[in-house]
Each structure stands twice: as C-alpha cells, then as structure tokens.
Structure 1
C-alpha cells in the first residue's frame, strides 16, 4: 500500500522509521526476487532485464529506504555520512535535504521538475499504439532483440507503413531505424523533450522510476517502489504490443495491427496515464512540499487550460480521421 503523504516537518522516531525500512526491504526483495534468481543462473530475459539495465539501478539500491525530503529521522547519525542528508533539529538526527540536492544538482533538479509538472499538465495522447517498437526494426534485418518477429520482416514493415507514427518520446525515437525516422510526425530531439512529453506515453510513465531514482533520499522508499511497479506493469504491455514473438517467455501478444488489439492497448494505456499522473503529483509533493506544489499547479492550470483544450480537440479530430 502507498505510504501516506508526509509533511516536510514530519519527525519519525527510531522504532517507526526502522519498521518502515524493514517493510521496504521486504517489498523490494519480493519485487526483484525473480530477476536476482535469473542473474544467479546467468539467464537473460527480454522483458524484465530492461528494468535493471536501461535504468541502471540495482536490486541492492532499490531496497535502500529513505523517508523523503524534510522528514527527520531520530537516532540516525549514521545517515549523516550519506549523500544529501543534513543534521536534524535533534542530536543524532538526519534529514534528506532538498536544498543540498538542488545546490549540487541544479540543472538536474530543474529538468526533473519541468518534466514532472509539464507532462502532468498536458492531455494524454492515445493514438501511437506502441508502434515505436515496430519502428525500431523497420526495414532493418539487425534487431535489438534476438526473438523472431511475430509477422516476419515483410509483415512488420507493412504494419509500420499502414500507420501514422506519432511517437513523442525521444528515448524511443532515437532507436528508430533510419527509414523509420522520417515517417514520424515530428523529428524529436533531447532539448525538446520537456516540451513534448505527455502522460499517455508508456515510456514517460516508466521514466517516473528514473526520476525517482535520480532524486534519491528526497523520495520516500514506498513511493520509489510504486514507481518501479508502474514501470514493471508498463514494460509488460510495451513488450506485449511489440512486433516480437515472445511466446517462449510466456508473453501473450496484444496485436496492435488489429482493431481489437488497438482497443486493448489504448484501454490499458489510459489507465497507466492516470497512475502516472498521480505518481507525478506524489513525487512533487514528497520533494517540494504540498503547499508549493498546489500553488504552482493552480497557476499552471489557469495558464495551460486553453492550450490543453485545443490540443485535446486536435487529437480527437486526428483520431477520427485515421
């Protein structure tokens, strides 16, 4: 269960925070048990290894619990040697320090805040149907995964050519094959990412785990694991909708080349967008405080509502025409 949102003035006594730390470690160990067992046997998995290779965050790091920014841990002197912890009001206490993080990682802090706020403020787009994975193998016999293509190369290429590529996520777009790049509605770049990221994108939802890991002790451990679980759930759909035949790993395809497959993909995509926006809110509150986040969101909503409405209408018109 998600932990309650804590105010930045919260003080946790030693018994309370060590109980939460213990529960966090148990939950983290359960979430990573299958991966650790496969790693011990030297086995690779085309779906789940991604969560530990792309995001470069190990199971041992994932099980380290933090209370979140501004939450004082009593009798935690050992944490004063940890990065971005500062002394609390009581002797021997320690507090994750958002100011220390911002001072050391000013550019990163600004990027994360922009990505979280701006993505949440935009309407979700639900017309991509996961074709980014198809675009990564379009007209190219060299594939990133060793699994065979479910429809073969010609069938896969035909699906790409029959659809409009609408990818908005640069870290997916950068793996498009050269022939697929000009087929996308927009040519994406790293610098444009904060302006284009939107909550309907599966990879934007998975990246909430990345932002949580970057914020380190400013994010409560329970929230970190919630972002990991979202990334895990999204990753499954990402691969179910991919062009690969992953039946050897028990993956049942979502055939996005069909009307029924598209409907299932969009239904689950919308649910992930809702979960993602709630996690964006919780990350901002845990890091910056509820008052500052609420004030900023009110101003942002007033400023972006007309643009959001126009964008939503545009998406509906384009979808109806497709």
Structure 2
C-alpha cells in the first residue's frame, strides 16, 4: 500500500498531538529538574525516549509517498519498512509472540492487591536499604507497612516486580518467577504485565503502526497511576495530571480498598487483552513476511 503525503502527514500530526498531551508535562519538568513519583516511571524505567514515541510509523506493508525525512531511519528503505529488516527481527518476534500468547491464554488473577510495591519496602530498615521513593514517607509508617505484608498472601507472578522485593520479603512470595521463565508465570491480570505491553509494542516499532504503540502507552500510563495509588507511600498533595484531580490512595489494607483495586484491575485486564491480541496478530503477520511479501498494513486502534 502506498499512502499519499496528505494522508500520512495527517496521521502523523494526529499521533504527535496525542503523544504531546501526555509527554509535554514530563519534558517541562525535566527541563527544570523536577521529578514526579508516578509519571516519570514510563520514561525512566522503559528505554524509549519521548522523541522516539513521538515519531510516527505506519508499520510494515505501507510505503509513504514523498517522505524524505524517513530516509536513513532504522529499518526503512525508500519510504517503507524493509522486509529484510523484519526478517532480521525474527528472534524478537518469535519470543514476543510466544510470551504474549501464553499470557493471553491464562485467566486474569486479580487477588494480588498491589502488594508487590509493599514487599519492596518490607522491613526496609533491617538491612540498611534505601526506600525506592526516598522523598515520600510510608503512609502507614514502617511497622504498619510490615504488618500489612505479613497479614496477606503475597503472590507476585511478575519477575521485574519480584526482583525488587527486599530480602526478607522474597521468601513470603508464594511464586518464584525468574527472568527466563516469563512464559510460565505472566498472567493478564498483573498490572506490570499490562504496563509491559508498552515495552513490547515499542520494541516492535517501526514494524507496527504507532497508533498501537500509543494505545499501549496510554494503558501503561493509567495502570501506573493505580499502581502508585495502591502503593504504601504517602503521596498527599501530588496532582495526578492535566485533570488536576488530587491524589487519593487506594487503601488496599481495607475491604473497600481491595474491592476498588480488584475492580480497576479487571478493567485494565480487559483493556490489556485488546492491545495484547493486536500485538499477537501483528507478530504473526510479521513472522510470515518471508512467505508473503505483499502483506497488508498492521492494524490500528
């Protein structure tokens, strides 16, 4: 498919505006060396710069007419993502396809209540470790936080959360996820598995369309807010974003807080499965490039 200049520039401009609505406040804070305990995470933990997110790509199977600014970009040849580049990404595509399919096939578990964040500060003073967010006090204090961890069943299935547990907290986890067995443990109800859809999406760029990458980014943004609202930190006075709504914690140590968390987690699991299925389908199409050179463009939301 050849996309004429007017059409692709309109899509690119719409994408840039969508990105800027969320990224501009971060860039302004960064220019003045102001940190945000919630929103900076997506730009510091994930290795994808705002400028990279802002660059629009149509995905493999689309050639852009009159697009000299794409000359020389990674993966491109004459205004389109090259089939040779897609073929070179086969190991990545295979691994992501396997992980995404395995995760999608499992039922969503929504009974963890965000206790992974609490386990990251459990008995923190016992071994001299510094808090992960040292500028923010614990809402229930050290002993109160420890009591919440000790009175709950910890069942974290996500390695990149589990690896940050304090040493005293690690034996309390009923699961032992590792870096090499994500296919075995990842499940769609996990908030961090939902946020990682953004990582999977941008790793597939420019082979998939940027609209899908942005779908994953917006999902990760919303999940991160819940993740920190349910965390043990006292974020009193933090303004969430452009809505101006004040920070309100999800008190997962109470029955009401548990219900609120689980309901939000179910909603995110449903949103995540939509994005995950799109990524699965894109991976499958891209893996078939060698036998089907005339592929259709990857799907957008």
Cα pair 2:157 2:176 within 8 Å, conserved: no
Partner of 2:217: 228
Match 1:63 to one of 41, 47, 54: 54
For 1:44 and 1:98, locate their aligned partners in 2 and report how far apart those are by CA, in whole Å: 41
Match 2:279 to one of 280, 283, 298: 283
Question: How do residues 161-176 of structure 1 correspond to structure 2 at under 5 angstroms?
Answer: 161-176=150-165
Distance 1:287 1:192, change over 3 A: closer
Partner of 1:130: 114
Q: Is the deviation greater in 218-227 or in 232-241?
A: 218-227
Partner of 1:249: 238
Cα pair 1:218 1:287 within 8 Å, conserved: no
Q: Measure how far apart 1:191 and its partner are.
A: 0.8
Q: Secondary structure at the match of 1:249?
A: coil
For 1:81 and 1:33, locate their aligned partners in 2 and report how far apart those are by CA, in whole Å: 27
For 2:180 and 2:236, locate their aligned partners in 1 and report how far apart those are by CA, in whole Å: 38
Q: Measure how far apart 1:208 and its partner are.
A: 0.7
Partner of 2:70: 79
Would you say 1:27 and 2:12 are equivalent positions? no
Q: Measure how far apart 1:223 and its partner are.
A: 1.3
For 2:286 and 2:180, locate their aligned partners in 1 and report how far apart those are by CA, in whole Å: 29
Q: Point out which structure has higher relative CO (alpha carbons under 8 A, 6+ apart).
A: 2
Q: Measure how far apart 1:248 and its partner are.
A: 2.7
Partner of 1:36: 27
**Runs of 5+ unmatched residues, structure 1:** 1-9, 88-93, 293-322
Normalising by the residue count of structure 1, what TM-score does the alignment of the two structures yield? Answer: 0.81
**Which has more helix, going by share of residues?**
1
Q: Measure how far apart 1:98 and its partner are.
A: 5.7
For 2:69 and 2:25, locate their aligned partners in 1 and report how far apart those are by CA, in whole Å: 31
Cα pair 1:85 1:97 within 8 Å, conserved: yes
Runs of 4+ in 1 over 6 A off after TM superposition: none
Q: Measure how far apart 1:67 and its partner are.
A: 0.4
Would you say 1:215 and 2:200 are equivalent positions? no
Match 1:158 to one of 138, 147, 155: 147
For 2:174 and 2:151, locate their aligned partners in 1 and report how far apart those are by CA, in whole Å: 14
Distance 1:54 1:110, change over 3 A: same
Would you say 1:238 and 2:227 are equivalent positions? yes
Partner of 2:267: 271
For 1:121 and 1:249, locate their aligned partners in 2 and report how far apart those are by CA, in whole Å: 37
Q: Measure how far apart 1:271 and its partner are.
A: 0.5
Distance 1:29 1:18, change over 3 A: same
For 1:98 and 1:213, locate their aligned partners in 2 and report how far apart those are by CA, in whole Å: 18
Cα pair 2:157 2:186 within 8 Å, conserved: yes
Question: How do residues 88-99 of structure 1 correspond to structure 2 at under 5 angstroms?
Answer: 94-97=79-82
Match 1:144 to one of 127, 132, 135: 132
